[in-house]
Amino acid sequence: MLLRRGVTGIAVVLGVLTLMFFLLRLAPGDPARLLVGPAATPEQVAEQRRALGLDRPAAEQYAVWLGRFVQGDWGTSIATGRPVRAMLAEAWPATIRLVGLSLVLSYLLGIAVGVVQATRGGGLDTALSVLSVTLFALPGYWLGLMLVMLFTYRAGLLPSFGAAGLDADFLTGWERVADRLRHLALPLATLTLIGAGGTARYVRGAMLDVAGAPFVAIARAKGLSPTAVALRHVLRNALIPVLTLLGLSLPALFSGAVFIEAIFAWPGVGRVLVEAVQARDYPVVMAATAVSATLVVLGNLLAELLVAWADPRVRDAGLGAPPARAWSG
């Protein structure tokens, strides 16, 4: 199963690379002309086209480009002149840190809220539903701005720029950790709040789906306490579709992180991507897209392994995740 999933994942990344290659060819504008500048003579443009291999047949260009890309030869950034590979090597750990932490926190928070909603019902359920749907509907870039307005400009409590202060190199020990955490606080809170809203909505639904099953009635008839039924029987079974959602929500989380990184100048892949897009820095855009797609594919694979670990039916059948509820979005 792992092997098959791995092959599928590689196929997806290859598909992304192919898609990128042909989109770049479809786009208006000649990359050679872009490189040599507007004052170049036709001979210079032709020379540059030859140097880039643009005079070759498309299939050959594709093979050469793909070969280089797979080997890690991603070219140099047009905007900064730095090797693209070095730029992304610096960026991806920051993204993983932000996305990974917010994934953990938003699921813990979301599951807690969802459980309270599903077991209590009534007015509390309604109030929390309103809260979770509002959080779910908040655009990350706007929530980020509002948090900056409150915590940076009004209260003056937290920084809103970068991953470390300007004086970070002079700090030692705990001061350094505290500085890092203070910089992490706002971007992490923004991503986590939005993620928790979506998770709570889903956990509530999944628990209500499971609650009608016969084994829950039996557990109750055995005389188990309501808390034991809710946590040991309903929640544990409801977590299987929730784990599947975890895989499905990774692309969305990465998408959200792109905006958050741009707002908070968080030095991750998303910020590199947005800056490259705004500067029309194609080599960087291509590489950042490929890195994002790879991270998402790896995340999906991890989520499927988690589902298999949690659900013996899947583990034994080796068939992959059970179908998620339709329109879970």
Partner 1 sequence: MTRQRGLLADGRAAFGLAVLGAAVLAALCAPWLAGDPLLQRDIVATRFLPPLSSDLHGQFHLLGTDRFGRDVWARLLFGARLSLGVGALAVLVSVAVGVAVGAAAGFWRGWPGSVLLGLTDFALALPRVVLLLLLASLWEPSAALVVLVLGFTGWMTIARLVHGEVRTLATRPFVESAVGLGAGGLRVLARHILPNALTPVIVAAALGLGNAIMLEAGLSFLGLGVQPPAPSWGNLIASGRDTLVNAPWVATAPGVALVLVVVAATLLGDAVRDRLDPARGGSVRLSP
Query: Is 122 an interacting residue with respect to partner 1 (CB under 8 A)?
Result: yes
Q: Using CB under 8 A, which of 24, 35, 105, 158 touches partner 1?
A: 24
Stretch that binds partner 1, among 96-104, 118-126, 165-173, 185-193 (CB under 8 A): 118-126
> Binding to partner 1 by residue 264, rule CB under 8 A?
no
What is the smallest separation between the CB atom of 137 and partner 1, expressed in angstroms?
4
Of the CA atoms within 13 Å of residue 60, those in its CB half-sphere come to 6
Interacting residue with partner 1 among 91, 196, 200, 285 (CB under 8 A) = 285
* Stretch in the footprint of partner 1 (CB under 8 A) among 92-100, 168-176, 181-189, 270-278: 270-278
Q: For the segment 75-114, give every residue that binds partner 1 (CB under 8 A).
A: none
Binding of partner 1 by 38 (CB under 8 A): no
Phi, psi for 213 (deg, rounded to 5)? -70, 150
Closest approach of Cβ 278 to partner 1, in Å?
6
Based on the shown chain and the rule CB under 8 A, indicate whether residue 145 belongs to the binding site for partner 1.
yes
**Residue for token digits 């899947």?**
314
Residue 12 or 171: the one with the smaller Cβ distance to partner 1 is 12
Query: Could you identify the residue written with the tokens 């459980």?
Result: 115
| Site for partner 1 contains 146 (CB under 8 A) | yes
Tokens of 180: 């890092």
Q: Are 32 and 45 in contact (CB under 8 A)?
A: yes
Q: Compute the chain's Rg from CA coordinates.
A: 24
* 273 binds partner 1, rule: CB under 8 A: yes
Residue 262 engages partner 1 in binding (rule: CB under 8 A) = yes
Q: Which residues bind partner 1 (CB under 8 A)?
A: 11-12, 15-16, 20, 23-24, 26-28, 117-122, 125, 133-134, 136-139, 141-142, 145-146, 148-149, 153, 205, 207-209, 211-212, 220, 226, 229-230, 234, 251-252, 254-256, 258-259, 262, 273-274, 276-278, 280, 282, 285, 288-289, 292-293, 296-297, 300, 326-327, 329
